[in-house]
Structure 1
Amino acid sequence: DAPAHNRNVPANLPYVLGSLSELLAVPTETLAEQFWHNSCNALRTDWRYPA
């Protein structure tokens, strides 16, 4: 188990994405784009998804 101060850091996002992709049986590309849109909605922005 990682120390608590290392759990919620941006460097862990690829691991979280990979784990959720596996658990939900959804391609990582699909999840990444959906997370982007969800984040934009939460932040009330309209940033374009990077190509």
Structure 2
Amino acid sequence: MELQNISILDSAKIGFEFSCSWDMEHGLGVMARKGKVINIGEAEVAFMAI
């Protein structure tokens, strides 16, 4: 797993996009708000405004 991108969506939300060996096509995305994880999924989760 390797960090590919960090997206700052606003003052409270930050997205992290990773490449990963178990899903090379879609990767892994993590969205956090105020330091707490709010969503985990494919890489696109890291930059989606929810």
- With the length of structure 1 as denominator, give the TM-score of the two structures: 0.25
TM-score (norm 2): 0.25
Which protein has greater RCO, CA pairs closer than 8 Å, 6+ apart? 2
